[in-house]
Structures are given as C-alpha cells and as structure tokens.
Amino acid sequence: VRDGPLIPRFGRARRDPTLAVLEGFHAVKHALRFGAEVELLATPDKGALLALAGRLAPDLGPRLEAEAQEVDAELFAQLVPLPPKTGVVAIARRPAIEVSGLLAGPAGPLVLLEDPRDLGNMGACVRVAAAADAGGVLSTGSHDPWHADALRGAAGLHFALPVARLDDLAALAGSERPLVGLDPDGEELDAAALDPRAILAFGTEREGLSPELVARADALLRIPMREGVSSLNLATAVAAVLFAWRLTAAGRG
Ligand SMILES: C[S@@+](CC[C@H](N)C(=O)[O-])C[C@H]1O[C@@H](n2cnc3c(N)ncnc32)[C@H](O)[C@@H]1O
C-alpha cells in the first residue's frame, strides 16, 4: 500500500476540495477516458476488473493493468460507504476550473443549477450535460458538485466538461452570455431560437428559481407539458432542454 493506510486516505479524500472519489467502474472509466489524473485505484480482484474492462471499455485495459492495486476484499469493503459491486474505487485530482473564464468563454450553453438538493440529481445533470456537449455545469448552494455521490450519479462525467460551484449570482453580472431561466410558467421554449451561449438556469427541486434569478433573467422559458402535470424532475428538465437544443441545426454545430 502506497502513501499510508487506505481507509483514512479515502476518508480524507472525500473532504478534500482538490480531490475526487470515484466509486464504481463507470465513474472510473469516464474519469480515465476524459483525462483524470488518478492518484490511487483500488480493486479487490484485478483479474475480474480487467475482464470487465475487456467487455465494457477495452481502450482502458492497459491503464487499469498498470495502475490498479489489488487490496484485500475486507479492506476494500471499508474504503467507501457503499462499496460498488463492480469492484473498483479511485482517488483522482479535480481539474482546476476558472469560473470567470467559463462565463466569458465561447463554448456551448452553460447549465446553472440553483441550490440543487439531491446529489444524485446533480450527477444526472452533469451526465446529460456532458452527453449533449454543453459548455459546463455551475451550481449554487451548499452542496459540492464534486461530492462522491454526485460523481457516482454522473458516472464520472465531471471530467468531460467543466463543473464548478458559483458562489454568488452577482458573478453573472459581467457575463455577455444571456441568462435564460427555465420555469414551468415561462414562455414556450423554441429550441432553435436558443442562443448557443446562453446560461440555462434551473431552479431548486422544491421551490424552483429564486426571485433573484428571475429578476436577473433575460428570458423565462417553459418546456410544454400535458395539462395537470406541474413540473418535470430537475435532471429531466435539463435533459429535455439540452437535447431539444442539440437536435436543432445550431446544437449539432
Ligand atoms: C422540480 S422543478 C421545481 C418545481 C417548482 N415547484 C417550480 O414550480 O418551479 C425543478 C426545476 O426544473 C425546471 N423545470 C421543471 N419542469 C419544467 C418545465 N415544464 N418547464 C421549464 N422548466 C422546468 C425548472 O427550472 C425548475 O425550477
């Protein structure tokens, strides 16, 4: 075992804002594929891990062969709160993200999650944003978007696009990107007319968009729904908007 006992090392990594704890094969797979710097990769059965990689991600076989450390099964079961059935966990370095550069940058729509409460939902938003090739995901509120549970929900796709916390909505003031709030009471969304540089803001699961965000927004748009349905789940709403945009000529680039 390298660099000290593994159980406290994983415990410290969960609280370290420079590190990311990856739980399970899909999270590790995407992290490696999108360039994560992995510090430690542990498995209770290296042969089984390599066989799984052979089936699901042959491109990663050589890296897993070189980097995976086999540890005792009892020790593995104590490294993270819910040991993944796919038998692999890792610690990686988080990439440094400059939020001001992201707000100024030219690439793709940004997703802004206002105070999301459910870490799995946050992860699902990151996952769909990566799949739709969005420019990045920002979140406000107390939850760390890089929390291990969010990484698990995102299948490690935090490494595929910039994901960062936005401390304050005031930081949006200098951005030339239009701020578009998604709200079930807004005007009907026309995806073809969406500015590809838009910041697409989604509200918290229970209360929706904050009054401050609504006051700052250049537009409020709704995804049309069947009468009687009050709203979509947060990650479902993010998916609907991003893929409605992605399926337009502008979204396909
Ligand atoms: C679970 S919903 C919040 C529901 C909240 N009671 C409300 O009325 O906004 C979480 C977020 O998903 C987005 N959302 C859900 N359904 C939507 C729809 N039909 N049109 C636009 N945005 C929607 C909004 O950004 C909303 O704040």
Residue 1 has what pLDDT?
A: 42
Convert the pLDDT of each residue in 168-182 to its tens digit: 999 999 898 999 999
Return the number of other C-beta atoms located less than 10 Å from residue 48's C-beta: 13
Ligand 1 pocket check for 223: Cβ under 6 Å: yes
CB 52 within 8 A of CB 28: no
199: Cα within 13 Å, side-chain hemisphere = 29
The Å distance, Cα 6 to ligand 1 centre, comes to 42
Convert the pLDDT of each residue in 25-47 to its tens digit: 999 999 999 999 999 999 999 99
Stretches in the chain below the pLDDT threshold 50: 1-2
Pairing of strands 89-93, 37-43: antiparallel
Residue 250 has what pLDDT?
A: 77
Q: Which two tokens stand for residue 90?
A: 């890792």
CB 197 within 8 A of CB 180: no
| Ligand 1 pocket test target in 118, 183, 205 with most atoms within 8 Å of CB | 183
Whose alpha carbon is nearest atom 18 of ligand 1? 184
Residue 105 has what pLDDT?
A: 81
Query: Coil, helix or strand for 44?
Result: coil
Give Cα 137 to chain centroid, integer Å: 7
Give Cα 65 to chain centroid, integer Å: 27
Task: Determine the Cα–Cα distance for residues 146 and 38; give it in Å rounded to an integer.
Answer: 15
DSSP category for residue 59: G
Task: Determine the Cα–Cα distance for residues 77 and 98; give it in Å rounded to an integer.
Answer: 36
Residue 174 has what pLDDT?
A: 83
Residue 71 has what pLDDT?
A: 96
Beta carbons within 8 Å of 208's beta carbon, 6+ residues apart: 183, 184, 231
Q: Which two tokens stand for residue 114?
A: 């206002």
Ligand 1 pocket check for 208: Cβ under 6 Å: yes
Residue 249 has what pLDDT?
A: 75
Ligand 1 pocket check for 117: Cβ under 6 Å: no
The string of DSSP letters for 129-141 reads: HHHTT-SEEEE-S
112 burial (CB, 10 Å; 0-12 / 13-18 / 19+) is: buried
CB 179 within 8 A of CB 202: no
- For residue 182, the cross-strand partners are 221
Residue 181 has what pLDDT?
A: 98
